[in-house]
Amino acid sequence: MGFPQSPTQQQKMESFSRARLEDNGDSILGSYSSWLREHPSALCTFEGIMKKAERKEIAVFLDYDGTLSQIVDNPDQAYMTEKMRCAVREVADCFPTAIVSGRCRKKVYEFVQLNNVCYAGSHGMDISIPLASSKSQDNRHQTRALDEKGDEIVWFQPAQDFLDTVQEIMRLLKERTTRIDSAMVEDNKFCISVHYRCVDEKDVGKLKQIVESTMEAYPTYRITCGKKVMEIRPPVEWDKGRAIEFLLESLNANGHCNVLPLYIGDDDTDEDAFKVIKRTKHGFSIIVSSVPRETVASYSLRDPNEVHSFLTNLAKWKRSASSS
Ligand SMILES: O=P(O)(O)OC[C@H]1O[C@H](O[C@H]2O[C@H](CO)[C@@H](O)[C@H](O)[C@H]2O)[C@H](O)[C@@H](O)[C@@H]1O
């Protein structure tokens, strides 16, 4: 695996300027109904999707914020409903399932609280898998540990070498943003989120300037933007796309074959995973959005409520397929 590596300056600029244009993650592109023709509803086309999955094994990958939980003002309160937890639990009983989030892995676990799913935090830079599934020979970036149940697991952390610097940047950003009311710096372990959802519009420019000027001292680090958030990432060629490739390899190593990835996500960072699915022409990519937006995903769902219905259908489909 080719990491760590720095993204090129051009990649950094492209990612940042696109993010600036789509500041809220929801750039408006024409009418929803014409967009739906390009990205049909995964609920309305459910039977067709499942037909393509016949005799194949599905692996389910789920983003957290905006997919399993609604977007809310306070990132610490983005709880998942009990109804959604039940749906994810049922899906994970039927298919290998992983949550792939920008949050730190520990925080996602606290929100999701399920032991039958895998967790990939920090945009995939912190993956936890059962020891038996571990295929990677990259001993420098993996550590053996015990999970909450006492089972042996492996943490795969390709950005481990950058942890101290990420934490140093976090301290600086926390210090320097205190004078911006309602700005929030979130520690996502291998990456940092600087939130401005609740910051007065007149201060958002100042906050962005503080972040940009702080990052001048760390020119290889990337700044990307999500939904009312700036995200700082270390110079490692790793993202949610690489994470799902890694997890699929682990599944293969564990005796699963012919695995089709099904990925559901709502944010720009999920596009990296959608691109892997598009490039390999293998699997299903579903964007969660209630407005038309640029995406390489093939299908769409409007919001977490539709995600819930889709997951419920998926588990029912598997149960009826297994019993027939
Ligand atoms: O990859 P994800 O699981 O989607 O995480 C992406 C970011 O999600 C969180 O921020 C977003 O959701 C918050 C809660 O609804 C909202 O307040 C914020 O404005 C959104 O940007 C999370 O707090 C970030 O750390 C994640 O990177």
Cβ neighbours of residue 17 closer than 8 Å, sequence gap 6 or more: none
Q: Which pLDDT band, with edges at 50, 70 and 90, does 77 fall under? A: very high
Structure-block tokens of residue 268: 């720009």
Q: Which residue has the higher pLDDT, 14 or 144?
A: 144
Residue nearest to ligand 1 atom 10, measured at CA: 75
The DSSP-derived string for 22-49 is TTTS----S-HHHHHHHS-BTTTTHHHH
Q: Find residue 146's DSSP bridge partners.
A: 152
d(CA 100, CA 241): 10
In a domain? residue 139: yes
What pLDDT sits at residue 29? 57
- Contact between 162 and 138 under an 8 Å Cβ cutoff? The reply is no
Task: Indicate which CATH number applies to the domain containing 106.
Answer: 3.40.50
Closest of 316, 300, 318, 313 to residue 67, by C-alpha: 300
Residues within a 6 A CB radius of ligand 1: 63-66, 71-73, 75, 78, 101-103, 186, 188, 193, 195, 197, 226-229, 231, 267, 269
Q: How many domains does the chain have?
A: 2
d(CA 250, CA 263): 17
When pLDDT is averaged across residues 140-168 and rounded to a whole number, the result is 89
Residues 165, 72 share a domain: no
Task: Indicate which CATH number applies to the domain containing 220.
Answer: 3.30.70.1020
Asked if the model's pLDDT at residue 323 lies above 80, the reply is no
In a domain? residue 170: yes
Mutate which of 182, 229, 244, 264 for ligand 1? The one with the most ligand atoms within 8 Å of its CB, which is 229
Mutate which of 22, 65, 303 for ligand 1? The one with the most ligand atoms within 8 Å of its CB, which is 65
Asked if the model's pLDDT at residue 110 lies above 70, the reply is yes
Other CB atoms within a 10 A radius of the CB of residue 248 amount to 22
How do residues 116-130 score in pLDDT, each as one tens digit? 999 999 999 999 987
**Ligand 1 atom closest to Cα of residue 63:** 3
Residues 181, 99 share a domain: no
In a domain? residue 202: yes
Asked if the model's pLDDT at residue 9 lies above 70, the reply is no
Residues 63, 147 share a domain: yes
Instruction: State the Cα angle at 204 between 226 and 171, rounded to 5°.
Output: 75
- Contact between 177 and 210 under an 8 Å Cβ cutoff? The reply is yes
In a domain? residue 257: no
How far is ligand 1, taken at its centre, from the CA of residue 75, in Å? 6
**Ligand 1 atom closest to Cα of residue 229:** 21
- Among all chains, which residue has been given the structure tokens 């695995």? 259
How far is ligand 1, taken at its centre, from the CA of residue 227, in Å? 7
How do residues 157-198 score in pLDDT, each as one tens digit? 999 999 999 999 999 999 999 999 999 999 999 999 999 999
Q: Which pLDDT band, with edges at 50, 70 and 90, does 59 fall under? A: very high
> Residue 8 belongs to what domain range?
1-24+160-237
What pLDDT sits at residue 253? 61
Considering 218, 237, 256, which residue would you say is the last residue of a domain?
A: 237
How far is ligand 1, taken at its centre, from the CA of residue 65, in Å? 5
The DSSP-derived string for 262-310 is EEEE-SGGGHHHHHHHHHHT-SEEEEE-SS------SEEESSHHHHHHH
Considering 191, 222, 237, which residue would you say is the last residue of a domain?
A: 237
How do residues 222-269 score in pLDDT, each as one tens digit? 999 999 999 999 999 999 999 999 999 887 766 666 789 999 999 999
